[in-house]
Chains A and B, each alone.
Chain A
């Protein structure tokens, strides 16, 4: 089975712009979660989508949004970028199991200048 894929792998944006990141989960996985990873804050949960519905949300401002399509692919959007949004954005897919094991993609490295 192919793993989780994320595009693009690297992105440089200017403060105030918006950005869209894409994630394709493992075939058969209907849950997709997004995380932000920074050296100072570690791995922070953004949100989770299951069957096209947002099932869980972390403590991030409304500038961070996402959606999931009927084929389980997901996108994450960040509007009005700030310098502090520079981070590695990780997507993870999961079977709908009680242990909720995450299978991560390689991430998108976003740099905001």
Chain B
């Protein structure tokens, strides 16, 4: 059983549309991270959110950490083909372990 549940598992949208990926857990995390992985490569860190209720923006990407520090969302505005990839959330706890979600595969069609 995954400690972090991501939804949806797959997402296919047209260029220019918006999308949201969710990451939920019943556990509290000291911080939550989002990574993007492209085929044949390792995941790349996009952002770390630390404070409950925190919102971070990275160009067209908006990340939110839930007030209770148990969940997070990633919203992409006006998606582009370059946003295609596997998006992974990961929660950090005090024991130096990261728990990863199963990932959301995003495909943006031109």
The segment from B14-22, B43-51, B72-80 that touches chain A is B43-51
B88 at the interface (CB under 8 A from A): yes
* CB–CB B103/A43 < 8 A: yes
Question: In whole angstroms, how far apart are the Cα atoms of A111 and B102 in the complex?
Answer: 22
Interface size class of B (residues with CB under 8 A): 20 to 34
Which chain B residues lie closer than 8 Å to A64 at the CB level?
none
* CB–CB A105/B31 < 8 A: no
- Interface residues of A, dominant DSSP: strand
A111–chain B nearest beta-carbon distance, Å? 14
Interface size class of A (residues with CB under 8 A): 20 to 34
CB nearest neighbor in A for B95: A56
Extra A-B contacts (7), CB below 8 Å, given A48-B97, A100-B98: A33-B98, A42-B102, A50-B96, A56-B97, A98-B31, A99-B31, A102-B33
Interface residues of B (CB under 8 A from A): 2, 30-31, 33, 35, 40-45, 48, 50, 88, 90, 92, 94-103
Interface residues of A (CB under 8 A from B): 4, 31, 33, 35, 42-43, 45, 48, 50, 55-56, 90, 92, 98-107
- List 25 interface pairs A-B (beta carbons < 8 Å), by A numbering: A33-B98, A42-B2, A42-B101, A42-B102, A43-B88, A45-B100, A55-B96, A56-B95, A98-B30, A98-B94, A99-B30, A99-B48, A99-B50, A100-B31, A100-B92, A101-B33, A102-B33, A102-B35, A102-B45, A102-B90, A103-B45, A104-B44, A106-B41, A107-B41, A107-B42
